[in-house]
Amino acid sequence: MMEDHDPKPNTPPDTPPPLPPPVPKPQRPPQQLNRKPEEDVGPPVVQIRNLWTRFGRTVVHQDLNLDIYAGEILSIVGGSGTGKTVLLRQMLGLERPSSGCVRVFGEDVSSASPEQLQRMRNHWGMLFQQGALYSALTVFDNIALPLRELRALPEDVIRDAVLLKMDMVGLGPGDANKMPSDLSGGMIKRAALARALALEPQLLFLDEPTAGLDPDLSDSFVALIQTLHSELHLTVVMVTHDLDTLFALSSRIAVLAEKHVIAVGPSCDVLRVPHPFIKHFFLGPRGQRALEVLEERIARKESED
């Protein structure tokens, strides 16, 4: 999708023109990757414009721009300290940028009042890496919390909604009264995902969703996210260091380096950007292994289709 359209030579089919000598493709400057997917996907769900973040004299983001479109899974990657978490927190309205703006569903999160933010948050869900569940509440009460906070729903409606969400993430009614300390790592993630989905959000934020899971649990959690993403028509914004998760889930990847987004696009396009971080992150031994797994998955899917 990233290449410009080559004009077709206007010659009759029986007289093919001689093949020109191969011309090396010019390297695209990375910022040219920063454009929307080709299909008509409407206005961005998340729009970040000219964003600067400073902590004292430290500049973390410098004139950062990023658009996230409906229905995609956009993953943010970058080296340690490049500001991925801060950016996620700014999208959630938990931190304000020093300047610039972050719009979610067209509303400016960066200047919203606490009341406006609360209303906006009812349209998105968050799965945090840590502190996923309240340890003093049962699984049921953790998932019911966002519904109860609305102060508008009767308990029987809440009960049905919670059990439905538990079923969606693969938890049974027998898990409802368990405490978080009784759950395995994979079940904690599933319960936290159920809570993130409690208000039926259109937008889901995931911070390191598979961190701390062993490879099998990680694979099944990735498969669950894939299923929910397509069944619920979610837009997903994810921060992850895990290359298997990244390649398996991402529609597009945004790479943070040098204080801004140096490339954003499908993984195959981002991998071609000649930047030292991209080479190091994606094309080292870990990246090669994850790519091989991805290629196997694609080949398997193609042969099934």
- Which residues would be at the binding site for ligand ATP (CB under 6 A)? 55, 60, 78, 80-86
Q: Which residues of 200-236 are buried (b: 16+ CB within 10 A; e: fewer)?
A: ebebbbbbbbbeebeeebbbebbebbeebbeeeebbb
Q: Which lies closer to ligand ATP via its Cβ, residue 64 or residue 228?
A: 64
- Residue 127 near residue 209 (C-beta atoms within 8 A): yes
Q: Which lies closer to ligand ATP via its Cβ, residue 85 or residue 202?
A: 85
- Residue 53 near residue 204 (C-beta atoms within 8 A): no
Whole-number Å distance between alpha carbons of 258 and 79 = 10
Residues 6+ apart with CB under 8 A from 289: 243
Q: Which lies closer to ligand ATP via its Cβ, residue 98 or residue 184?
A: 98
CB of 66 to ligand ATP, least distance (A): 14
- DSSP letter for each residue of 84-117: HHHHHHHHTTSS--SEEEEEETTEEGGG--HHHH
CB of 156 to ligand ATP, least distance (A): 41
CB of 45 to ligand ATP, least distance (A): 21
Q: Which lies closer to ligand ATP via its Cβ, residue 80 or residue 130?
A: 80
Q: Which lies closer to ligand ATP via its Cβ, residue 86 or residue 163?
A: 86
CB of 283 to ligand ATP, least distance (A): 19
Tokens for 223, please give them. 């498969």
CB of 265 to ligand ATP, least distance (A): 20
Tokens for 222, please give them. 């990735």
CB of 246 to ligand ATP, least distance (A): 13
Q: Which lies closer to ligand ATP via its Cβ, residue 200 or residue 258?
A: 258
Whole-angstrom Cα Rg for the chain = 22
Whole-number Å distance between alpha carbons of 261 and 106 = 21
Whole-number Å distance between alpha carbons of 214 and 61 = 33
Q: Which lies closer to ligand ATP via its Cβ, residue 98 or residue 177?
A: 98
CB of 242 to ligand ATP, least distance (A): 12
